[in-house]
């Protein structure tokens, strides 16, 4: 693995842990491989206008899937 690949992987892990945007239309997108509709593994209750979810990438070849790293997503503005 090259230094560039390591840096890209570390960045993807940081983004997965910090949170990606959740879209009602496309769900959460994996920050490592770009796969949309990551599988929801848990959903937290609404707090004000924000909801957190945790996902797993659906791409079996994705490094985050292989490493067992969850993707955090943030949904803003509750659908009414």
| Residue 77 pLDDT > 80 | no
| Residue 58 pLDDT > 70 | yes
Range of the domain at 27: 3-76
Phi, psi (5° rounding) for residue 42?
-160, 150
At 61 the pLDDT is: 96
Q: How confident is the model over 26-53, as a mean pLDDT?
A: 95
- 8 vs 16: CA distance, rounded Å: 12
How many domains are there within the chain?
1
């Amino acid at each position: 693995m090259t230094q560039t690949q390591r840096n890209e992987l570390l960045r993807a892990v940081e983004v997965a842990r910090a949170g990606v945007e959740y879209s009602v239309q496309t769900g959460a997108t994996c920050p490592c491989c770009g796969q949309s509709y990551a599988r929801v593994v848990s959903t937290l209750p609404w707090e004000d206008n924000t909801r957190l979810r945790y996902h797993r990438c659906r791409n079996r070849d994705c490094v985050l899937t292989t490493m067992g790293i969850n993707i955090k997503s943030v949904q803003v503005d509750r659908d009414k």
